[in-house]
Chains A and B, each alone.
Chain A
Amino acid sequence: GAVVSQHPSRVICKSGTSVKIECRSLDFQATTMFWYRQFPKQSLMLMATSNEGSKATYEQGVEKDKFLINHASLTLSTLTVTSAHPEDSSFYICSARSTGRVGQPQHFGDGTRLSIL
């Protein structure tokens, strides 16, 4: 079945560091990928929609200069948390939808646990 690979699975770094998270669709092409953030015991909050070859669409309240998204190919989207601070610590999950037939399920990566010290 379709698989979405997210890397790294866990990051621990100092405040002020920039962190890049990769999201790859392994066996399908994804024109659109989604980036979510999840706080403990809460549901997923959509941060932005990543479109291959164009600028990402950010949700209200999400700083686009803080969370840089690049979707350079049909199988790879990256999220860079710039100058991360402790309040950016969270669980980040990416998702991808096949470019093929409509109505296909959305597939999710295993998430990245980001801890900023």
Chain B
Amino acid sequence: KQEVTQIPAALSVPEGENLVLNCSFTDSAIYNLQWFRQDPGKGLTSLLLIQSSQREQTSGRLNASLDKSSGRSTLYIAASQPGDSATYLCAVKETSGSRLTFGEGTQLTVNP
């Protein structure tokens, strides 16, 4: 059974700092991995999707990497801003038709 772990569970940083969120998964045979953002009381916003054949994806100040063989993904946020404060979730899909398996999330607070 696939298990997804995110470290740290919570992170507080000053504005402007670069930071890395970690996601690990137990079964490396994944189809894709997706990073989401969740604001309090809201649904999920998709940030980046990495297919199993890809090593990384970038969108603005966000960069997500994938190392399938070691079962790891990282989300790099450059020049963090208070508006980045949210919970970040990673999720893996094992086949094209399967469900997403979510990690517990990292709650990020960026202090002005």
Chain A residues near B (Cβ < 8 Å): 4, 6, 32, 34, 42-44, 46, 49, 91, 93, 95, 102-111, 113
Question: What is the total of A-B residue contacts with beta carbons within 8 Å?
Answer: 49
Contact B32 A44 (CB under 8 A): no
C-alpha spacing A6/B103, complex, angstroms: 23
Q: Name the B residues within 8 Å of A93 (CB-CB).
A: 43-44
Instruction: Contacts A103-B31, A103-B96 known; list 20 others, CB within 8 Å.
Output: A4-B43, A6-B43, A34-B100, A42-B104, A43-B89, A43-B103, A46-B100, A49-B99, A93-B43, A93-B44, A95-B44, A103-B49, A103-B51, A104-B49, A105-B34, A105-B49, A108-B43, A110-B42, A111-B41, A111-B43
Most chain A CB within 10 A, of B44, B45, B96, B100, is at: B44
Interface size on B, residues (CB 8 A): 22
Contact B49 A113 (CB under 8 A): no
Chain B residues near A (Cβ < 8 Å): 31-32, 34, 36, 41-46, 49, 51, 89, 93, 96-97, 99-100, 102-105
Contact A44 B102 (CB under 8 A): yes
